[in-house]
Amino acid sequence: MKHISNRVQNIHSSGIRKFFDLVLGVEDIISLGVGEPDFVTPWHIREACIYSLERGYTSYTSNWGVLELRELIADKLRGDYGVEYDPEGEILITTGVSEGMDLVLRATINPSDEVIIPEPGYVAYKPCVILAGGMPVTIDTRIDNDFKATPEEITSKITENTKAIILNYPNNPTGSTMKGSELEEIADIAVEHDLLVISDEIYAKLTYEGTHTCFSSLNGMRNNTILLNGMSKAYAMTGWRIGYACGNREILENMMKIHQYTMLCSPITAQMAAVEALRNSDDSLRKMVTEYNRRRNLIVKGLNSIGLHCFEPKGAFYTFPSIADFNLKSEEFAERLLREEMLAVVPGNAFGNAGEGYLRCAYAVSREVLNEALSRLERFVGRLG
């Protein structure tokens, strides 16, 4: 259609959305498809939001976001990872990590700049790079390397047009994460080739083994990393739409130029809720992480015993089992599973070609639901023989 821009015609609708249109309105479906917590936002956070409305907080905020929130984020990053950001000019409150990703790409990418993206990876990265006028260059990570991009694989994709690399650990959809020593090797490459690292650490707090290393805390990386994080996953606040971007003042200033004209600011009520979440949620966060970990153990054991070989995820709330033994493409497997057993999972190819032969099963559902899902899966693969 002539009214649609070439740029938008060049991107496709999310594979997840396409798949879930099939699910809408059908009863008795169990879904391991949705990438969001089943927990409701803890009550004290909701209450803080209600109270902020009662006090009449209904205005715009600074374009940068509520200062108190930025100060709390700076405190947390210093306390958790020893990384320093100035709340005035180096931290921008965004409408989710989604907006942060869009802003950093639009603020930094020129036509024909290349952005390296390890896959399987989060569905938004490629389209966002294309919308910013750049060229996504993907790396196919492998299960035998725990779905991590190696320094050799990254180096082999670097050309004179490479501008940035997007990292996401713990990872959606595989649950893989990276150790400090592995990240240091990537940092060395970034320094050598003067690359910007866009580090999406939205699942950092959902790390079950080892400790999370913040990319910008690595030697020499603070100035060429844009750190993206937010409230959606760890605090069960997906609908509130609060994220934050931290980094080099000049890049942030330029991201801000776009943000102030397109978004203006994130909603004040959600920012007030985020203040409460960062101040007082240690307990609720711990409880949710403990429960996700129990579910992780249950589903990994269950999938492996059914014959769906499952890499053990180290963070986030996804498993990414292989269906290599069943001679079906991941879309066909997922569609038949949905029709025959009313169980929804996401076909791995929604996350890039490297995801073909896998499924994404989220364990952000109760253990009861997980057990029922595993029974349905077992029945289904039993029929496949």
Ligand X SMILES: Cc1ncc(COP(=O)(O)O)c(C=O)c1O
Binding site for ligand X (CB under 6 A): 35, 96-98, 122, 168, 172, 200, 202, 230, 232, 238, 243
Helix (H, G, I), strand (E, B) or coil at 247: strand
Task: Report d(CA 259, CA 93) in Å as an integer.
Answer: 10
Within the chain, residue ranges assigned H as helices are: 6-9, 15-21, 43-54, 67-81, 96-108, 125-131, 151-157, 180-192, 249-262, 268-280, 282-306, 330-341, 367-384
Min dist. Cβ of residue 170 to ligand X (A): 9
- Asked if 171 and 320 touch (Cβ cutoff 8 Å), the reply is no
Min dist. Cβ of residue 36 to ligand X (A): 7
Choose between 96 and 321: whose C-beta lies nearer to ligand X: 96
Write out the DSSP string of 98-166: HHHHHHHHHHHPPTT-EEEEEES--TTHHHHHHHTT-EEEEEE--GGGTT---HHHHHHH--TTEEEEE
Q: Are strands 135-140 and 114-119 parallel, antiparallel or unpaired?
A: parallel
Helix (H) or strand (E) holding 209: none
* Structural tokens at position 16: 């997840």
Min dist. Cβ of residue 20 to ligand X (A): 13
Among candidates 256, 237, 206, which has minimal Cα distance to 100?
256
Min dist. Cβ of residue 385 to ligand X (A): 34
Choose between 195 and 231: whose C-beta lies nearer to ligand X: 231
Task: Report d(CA 210, CA 266) in Å as an integer.
Answer: 33
Choose between 33 and 42: whose C-beta lies nearer to ligand X: 33
First to last CA, the chain: 46
Choose between 35 and 321: whose C-beta lies nearer to ligand X: 35
Choose between 81 and 203: whose C-beta lies nearer to ligand X: 203
Q: Which residue is nearest to ligand X (CB)?
A: 96
Min dist. Cβ of residue 341 to ligand X (A): 25
Give how far the C-alpha of residue 298 lies from the chain's centroid of Cα atoms, to the nearest Å: 23
Min dist. Cβ of residue 129 to ligand X (A): 14
Min dist. Cβ of residue 95 to ligand X (A): 7
Choose between 172 and 176: whose C-beta lies nearer to ligand X: 172
Min dist. Cβ of residue 242 to ligand X (A): 7
Choose between 204 and 374: whose C-beta lies nearer to ligand X: 204
Choose between 141 and 172: whose C-beta lies nearer to ligand X: 172
